[in-house]
Structure 1
Amino acid sequence: MTAVEPQHVVRPLLSARTLELLERADSGTLSDLTALRDEITRFLMRYRFGVSEVETKLDILREEFNLTAGYNPIESISCRVKTMEGVLEKAARKGVDFDLDSIREGLSDIAGVRVICSFVSDVYRIVELLTSQDDITVLEVKDYIARPKPNGYRSLHVILEVPVFLSGGPEQVRVEVQFRTIAMDFWASLEHKTYYKYDAQVPQHLIDGLTEAAEAAAHLDETMERLHHEVRGYQPSAPTIAI
């Protein structure tokens, strides 16, 4: 194996501009780049740990409901941490300076958790159970269920801080948690795919269709909630025994 083969393996993964910069960089520049990479890794690491903390709390609630209540209000939990590219794009859109301290203070959705519940009442119940825990600090609540966005979007967003215990001591990490019903999530997924396909230039008839679909989803949630309460409150009559 020759000394140049590893470069042929790496080269296709790098853009021409990146390769040009690396070829012109001296050892000091490469050392600075390595230090920057390590700093970014540590920065995002805290958000991954914050997501894990919130996910663990929700998993405990879900397991408890499974074991004791015979009914689980949490359908699914998904988590994500933005890439550094995504963080910088969001910072640019919001006018946040490109330094990590400013980004930490200026962006609230670097770490995200999405909780899908069966019914609207379940959403509020899980939000209350999560945010009432002693080590959770609620920074902001955006209730788009009670007050939907003009396009019909419904969801409940909670921006919170959770402690992450590192070797140097605890650190507060900001996490955005979104709570939706199945119907709300289905609509939001369709709306996102539509706007992505048309690069945000969506024809008006599709916008109108999405608005109608949002109303239909809200009506479905109301109907399913009513049926759910009827089923949960149903008590079968005692069987009669013929003598």
Structure 2
Amino acid sequence: MTTSSPPSSALGEIARIEEFHALSGQLTRFLMEYKFGIDEITTKISILQEEFAHLHDYNPIEHVLSRVKSPESIFDKMQRRGVASDIEAIRAEITDIAGVRVTCSFTSDVYRVFDLLSGQPDIEVIQVEDYIAAPKENGYRSLHALVETPVHLSDRVVPVIVELQLRTVAMDFWASLEHKIYYKYRTDVPAELLRELKEAADTAASLDEQMERLHGAARHSGTMPL
């Protein structure tokens, strides 16, 4: 009587699960550093919000969201990109583990807030992708940046990379809708929906420009509290 071996796909899945379990404990500790990195960035943003609220004529920051990738999400990305099961390899190769999204009132505020953050002495800008000045083909607009901030632990200082996304309320609304549509249809979004999404992105950009003009006119006239 002969016994058949498990198919190679099953063996591959078993090996994958074993690799994840071997790494998961390290990842949990590792992700604490990124959580602290987010705390550093969001504290800086909170200070700016407080200052604008009390000392300036209006607050350019509407709201702030943050997230740290889960161990499962990081492991999936490692598998897709062929990253070694090594903490330092993960640190070097995966740069979107920690993310902070800042939604601003106007397009000019996006650049203003970014300049204020990136100008702080303990923030190092690693990379900037300006999808406002050069939108993606589908109409996506946002300012993306990788910034590095020091995290002071009890026994060492760890430089942590945080992905910043800064966008207007209109850009954020459009991006949220696009995400929901792609989540529903996966990669097979109907062409008509894609066309309408692009038109909506252009409309959002036009609205941002119009609101910026109105905002500027109202501030210069001094007749409207902002």
TM-score, scaled relative to structure 2: 0.87
Is residue 2:162 matched to residue 1:175? yes
Partner residue, 2:91: 104
Partner residue, 1:122: 109
Partner residue, 1:70: 57
Give the partner amino acid of 2:125.
V
SS of alignment partner, residue 172 of structure 1: strand
Which of these two proteins has the greater Rg computed from alpha carbons? 1
Partners of 1:107 and 1:96 lie apart in 2 by 9
Is residue 2:204 matched to residue 1:217? yes
Structure 1: unaligned runs, 5 residues or longer: 1-20, 22-28, 237-243
1:77–1:220 distance in 2 versus 1, CA, 3 Å: same
Matches within 5 A, 1:86-235: 86-235=73-222
For CA contacts below 8 A with separation 6 or more, give which structure has more relative contact order. Answer: 2
SS of alignment partner, residue 184 of structure 1: helix
Measured after TM superposition, the shift of residue 37 of structure 1 is 4.3
Partners of 1:36 and 1:146 lie apart in 2 by 40
Measured after TM superposition, the shift of residue 161 of structure 1 is 0.5
TM-score, scaled relative to structure 1: 0.81
Structure 2: unaligned runs, 5 residues or longer: 1-13
The answer as to whether partners of 2:26 and 2:87 remain within 8 angstroms in 1 is: no
The answer as to whether partners of 2:101 and 2:165 remain within 8 angstroms in 1 is: yes
Give the partner amino acid of 2:191.
Q
Partner residue, 1:4: none
SS of alignment partner, residue 127 of structure 2: strand
Partner residue, 2:29: 42
Give the partner amino acid of 2:108.
S
Measured after TM superposition, the shift of residue 200 of structure 1 is 1.6
Residues paired across the two proteins, number: 206
Measured after TM superposition, the shift of residue 93 of structure 1 is 2.7
SS of alignment partner, residue 126 of structure 1: helix
Measured after TM superposition, the shift of residue 219 of structure 1 is 0.2
